[in-house]
Structure 1
Amino acid sequence: MSQPTEARMGNMLASSATGTTFLIMIQLASRIFTFASNQLILRTLSPIVLGIAAQLELYQVTILYFSRESIRLAIQRQPLTPVSAPSLDSKENSKTDATNSLDQLAVSSQSVVNVSYLSLCLGLPFTILVTSLYQYFAPTQAADTPFFQASVAVTGLASLLELCIEPFFAVIQQRMWYEKRAAVEMPAAFLRSLVTCSSFLFASRINQPAGALPFALGHLSYSIALICGYCWTMLRGADERRFTFILKKIRSSNSSEYLWGRFPRHLMSLAASVFVQSLVKHLLTQGDAMMLAAMSTLEDQGIYSLAANYGGLVARIIFQPLEESSRNLFSTLLSPDDQGKRNATQVRAAKKHLIDILRAYQLLSVLIFPLGPLMVPQVLGLLGGRQWASTKVGDLLSLYCYYIPFLAFNGITEAFVSSAANPKEIRNQTVWMGAFSTCYALAAYLFLEVGSMGAYGLVLANIVNMAVRTLWSYSFIRTYLHRHGDGIRISEVSMRPITFIVGAIATTIVAKKGILEPSGGIMPAILFSGVYGLLVLYMEKRYVAEQLAKVRQVISSRSKRTKSE
């Protein structure tokens, strides 16, 4: 590996690691704020209102997903053009190379800015369509709650406002300016929690039922804070940039064959393919909420919402940032050159990054499987009070712990697929997504209707859904790496067999041993968790030591680069 390539790879990995840290900070801060505000209002909040809030969130997520997801995935396939090494022949040539590199960077950024405006164009009709459908099909129990129509209207407005930040977000993702994103999104998350909590407390003080309106006001305040924050952060220093955040024609002789008006044609083609896939994928991603909304009461939806929010904390705080930063890194490493070929060194680097994360997820899974169901009943009563401290909620949260690892593995493998697949392969994946939708719907019907398992059956159906999607993605990854002169074996990915055996034994002990039940007290559970955690880390000490060494190396590289800048 040449020194320029090695330096570039080191910079990308350091930026990805730093970006993951900032993304985790964003999720952690957001969850802490949300958790704190929920604890203040949870004891006075009925499951019915929480169920309506879950429907409003699904309503907003649907608008945002269909409006921007395909555009964002396409934009990630437009990495920054790497800066060429300056020529040593003369200072004049060096200045020319630097100017050309800056022009290429500007063209690349202007391309993603232009494409990002399509999200807002899609957002307006989708908001009108989804709002009309939701208001028409809303259950009577929800429609009769106070301020229901106002809550829907405010949430729809918040969705449109949030789409206005897409030009800023596109540049931040492309240039990996995650610290700027953290500086904007963390205060916005705090404001959302503050507004939601304050609205509920004010309504309670004046003895006026507010329904789900405080949640809608929280969404609106979050969108406004994002707009203000990104404008303040990204519009400063406009004179120094060679691109603008408005729709502008791209002028580049080197890229003219790829342009269509103001939009790169290859990005538009990819966005169209991903958009068709997103129609099916959204049914799988949000299928649990849709199934609950169609087949269960608002109270059951509220209970499931609580389980999903608490049970998904690990997924949102750790797995989601890792998936997002890894997708960005994979898109950069696996992007083809001018001849349409991929660099073998970068493909190996992407494979190594994927293997490291898969092994880390296995380690966390071995810890989560026995310790999650063990600790959930111990803390649930402290968090939600008597209204939520029921066996039904505790058992559902315990079962949800088994779902989290499947969610994590599916997220990282699909991140690799979305970064590596060409439009034809994406269309092929869309066909398989249709098969997965059928599989998921069948499993949900069997568990919910035939088995009458309620929310428990929905979690089991989600596990089936994530398992089949992960298997397909892993099959694609094996084929892709083999096609590019490398392969991936189970032995490269898997932990030591003894670790899995110990994990299975610990899970059996937790399920069968009476002393570890809530009646046995929290101290035996804490003692068991500590001993088991140390045992697992000891058995995987070689892998843990390797990862710690990599972290120190990345930190050192980042520190040296910061000093040089």
Structure 2
Amino acid sequence: MERNVLHSSLISAVFNIIFQVLCRLLTFAINAFIVRNVGRDVLGIMNVRLLLLESTLLFLSREAFTRAGLSATTQQRDKCTWAQLINQMWLTVPTCIVICLPCVYIWLHMLTPVEEKFTAQYRFGCYAMAWSCVIELCAEAPNFVSQVFCFVRLRIVLSTFHILVRSAVFLWIVINDKSAAIHAFAMAQLISTITIIIGNYGFFYIYIKRFIQKNAIKDKYSKLDSNQYDAMSDFPFRKITDFLPGIMENQGKFLNSELQILTLSFVKQGVLKQILTEGEKYVMSISPVLSFSEQATYDVVNNLGSLAARFIFRPMEDSSYFFFTQTIARDVELHKQPRDNVLQAAKVLQNLSLAVTSIGLLALTFGQSYSHAVLLMYGGSDFVAGGLPELLLKWHCLAIFFLAINGITEGYMFATNTSKDIDKYNYLMAIFSISFLILSYILTSWLGPLGFIFANCINMFFRICYSIRYINHQYKPTGLKPLHGLLPGKSFIITLFLTGIFCKYSMYHSSTLFQHILYGFLSVVICVIVWTIENRELVKLGWRYGRRHISD
């Protein structure tokens, strides 16, 4: 399908940001309801223990297959057929089943036990999470196709509907029986996953049916304008059963051997990346360092502190990864690739680096003055009593800054390096993972939940250094320097410093909370205006690009 990859990536990022904002607001509202009405222990079991099981199963079962498949759609078109790609996506289901067996056993029998009154609900929750993951992966083939062919609105609508169904089921059960919160959480997850199956297959059933009917009309009435059919000219699926394994006509083997080698590289990398991503939750679950109440406190602060990461950084990372995989070939040196592609990739990387670094600095600056206000509005005075949540959120703002830079630089590296480079980096990831777990345990034993944040910052700092070294080495023969975007302008930095001091003063001398928040809002607006003026050429370019594609 003829498609503008950059345009699709940008639109996907924008819609994903909007979706993340809406869903996270809903999730925060539910978590606040649980903190105030059910208890922190229950929230810790659900948001730390059960969601960690879901994250582990889905990531280890899906990540490597999807990343390898996205690379194959661009750089192995002649070697890898769509039938092989569909078969590849269906491997996620048996992989998930195999992973479920030891994981569920570990979660039930080897991790820190829950209180006896929650045991029955917790057991049901573990089984429900495992089944929901298996069910969700049965729709991985159409989900992968929607990503490759840039069905952005489909993905956003289905994700939104999934979240709404899950939230509605959970609230309906909990409002009637607060003691069944964990059971409600598991049931909501299981029921809402079915919407993913129905939504994906239902959409493509209708989509393919309409396409076939149009082609039939075209064949019958050849004088009709054929341009209306061009959009689907290379869509390879002609019936809904083509999304099932072994059904689609295949000229080669059932699976592509080169694709499997690349997948294995991502598997090793995926395990290590999962440890780095969810390392603190693994430490909390395996060792009795923190109680479930303390785990819930850390999780709430972590979620609040990760607003920028979830709302902005993650969608940008996902869309930029897709763009870079479609623009830069993995196994060809950069200076030997088409110059236009390299220039476009470098420009996008530079602009993304500038954007995420600026956002990270905003979070770091204003987080020092508004952590208390945010937590007070979220959990009430009882939640902020003692000062621990506020301290955690302030330091988490530093982690946001590192997270912003690491997400883009490491994402670019993963999207463009070769299988050999991936294997080489896996050894370093193993060192990072082990070091992170050990450091987390030591620092947490010494500093409590704050140790997790320090361990994360140290770990991300070294990962950033490696990614920057890789990108500089890759672009050196081209003479391009996309990482200059990591250095915002002087005017923006000075404005941040002055407004940060002002807001810190306002924190102690404002007569009301509303006045303090108003000062902060005006300060952020001033910083954004200065940034816009300092980067007006980039803003004008983005504005022209957006207007052109909206009008199209």
TM-score range, shorter chain: 0.7 to 0.9
Residue 456 (structure 1) aligns with: 450
2:460 corresponds to 1:487: no
Distance 2:442 2:122 in 1: 33
Q: TM-score, normalised by structure 1?
A: 0.85
1:262 aligns with 2:254: yes
Q: What is aligned with 1:285?
A: 277
Q: Which of these residues, 121, 126, 130, is aligned with residue 156 of structure 1?
A: 130
Aligned equivalents of 1:78, 1:185: Cα separation in 2 = 25
Give, in angstroms, the shift of residue 109 of structure 1.
4.1
Query: Which of these residues, 433, 436, 444, is aligned with residue 437 of structure 1?
Result: 433
Q: Distance in 1 between matches of 2:365 and 2:254?
A: 54
- Which residue identity is paired with 2:40? P
Distance 1:369 1:222, change over 3 A: same
Larger mean CA deviation between 431-440 and 58-67 belongs to 431-440
What's 1:503 paired with? 496
Correspondent of 1:117 among 90, 106, 118: 90
Matches within 5 A, 1:158-557: 158-204=132-178, 209-239=179-209, 240=212, 242-243=236-237, 244-248=242-246, 261-293=253-285, 294=287, 295-335=289-329, 342-390=337-385, 391-449=387-445, 452-483=446-477, 485-488=478-481, 491-504=484-497, 506-507=499-500, 513=505, 515-517=506-508, 520-557=511-548
Query: How far is 1:373 from its partner?
Result: 3.0
Question: Structure 2 vs 1, CA of residues 38 and 489 (structure 1 numbering), >3 Å: closer, same or farther?
Answer: closer
Deviations 1:83-127 (A, max 9, x none): xxxxxxxxxxxxxxxxxxxxx799754443221111112010101
User: Compared with structure 1, are the counterparts of its residues 231 and 250 closer, same or farther at alpha carbon in structure 2 (3 Å cutoff)?
Assistant: closer
Change (3 A) 1:507 1:445: farther
The Cα shift of 1:27 comes to 1.4
Q: Distance in 2 between matches of 1:499 and 1:242?
A: 49
Alignment partners' CA distance in 1, 2:157 and 2:390: 36
Measure how far apart 1:170 and its partner are. 0.8
Helix, strand or coil at the partner of 2:337: coil
Aligned equivalent of 1:98: none
In structure 2, stretches of 5+ residues that fail to align are 213-234
Q: CA 1:108 to 1:179, structure 2 compared with 1: closer, same or farther past 3 Å? A: farther
Distance 1:448 1:309 in 2: 19
Shift of 1:316: 0.8
Structure 2 residue identity aligned to 1:154: A
Alpha-carbon RMSD across the aligned residues, in angstroms, is 2.8
Residue 93 (structure 2) pairs with residue 129 (structure 1): no
How much does 1:554 deviate?
A: 2.6
2:222: which partner in 1?
none
Question: Which residue pairs with 1:11 in the alignment?
Answer: 4
Residue 3 of structure 1 is matched in structure 2 by none
Please state how far the C-alpha of 1:197 moved relative to its aligned partner: 1.6
Deviations 1:279-336 (A, max 9, x none): 2221111101112222221111111111122221221111111111110001000136
- How many residues are aligned here? 517
CA-to-partner distance for each residue in 1:196-248, whole Å, 9 max, x for gaps?
222211113xxxx2252222122212211111111211222335353321223
How far apart are 1:70 and its partner, in Å? 0.6
Deviation at 1:351, TM superposition (A): 1.4
Q: Using a 3 Å threshold, how does the CA distance of structure 1 residues 413 and 338 change in structure 2: closer, same or farther? A: closer
Distance 1:165 1:129, change over 3 A: same
Q: 1:151 is matched by which residue type in structure 2?
A: G
Counterpart-to-counterpart distance in 2, 1:234 and 1:387: 50
| Structure 2 CA distance for partners of 1:71 and 1:280, relative to 1, 3 Å | same
Distance in 1 of aligned mates of 2:83 and 2:369:
51
1-side partners of 2:549 and 2:204: how far apart?
A: 23
Shift in CA distance, 529/20, structure 1 to aligned 2, threshold 3 Å: same
C-alpha contact (below 8 Å) 2:13/2:315 kept by paired residues: yes
Look up the equivalent residue of 1:371 and give its one-letter code: F
Contact 2:5 2:323 in 1 (8 A): yes
Instruction: State which drifts further: 452-461 or 418-427.
Output: 452-461
For 2:132, give the aligned amino acid.
Answer: A
Is the 1:323–1:411 contact (alpha carbons within 8 Å) kept by the matching residues of 2? yes
Q: Which amino acid aligns with 2:362?
A: L
CA distance 1:434–1:105, shift in 2 (3 Å): closer
Secondary structure of 1:330's partner? helix
User: SS at 2:362's partner residue?
Assistant: helix
Once residues 256 and 319 of structure 2 are traced to their aligned partners in structure 1, the CA distance between those partners, rounded to angstroms, is 24
Q: Distance in 1 between matches of 2:323 and 2:243?
A: 24
> Aligned equivalents of 1:422 and 1:491: distance in 2?
24
Distance in 2 between residues matched to 1:186 and 1:527, nearest whole Å: 31
State the one-letter code of the partner of 2:87: N
1:38 Cα deviation (Å)? 2.9
Q: Who is 1:97 aligned against? A: none
The CA deviation at 1:531 is 4.2
Matched-pair identity in % = 22
1:23 equivalent to 2:16? Answer: yes
CA distance in 2, matches of 1:343, 1:51: 51
Structure 1, residues 534-564: CA drift from partner, whole Å, max 9, x if none? 4423432345433432333333332454xxx
Unaligned runs of 5+ in 1: 1-7, 83-103
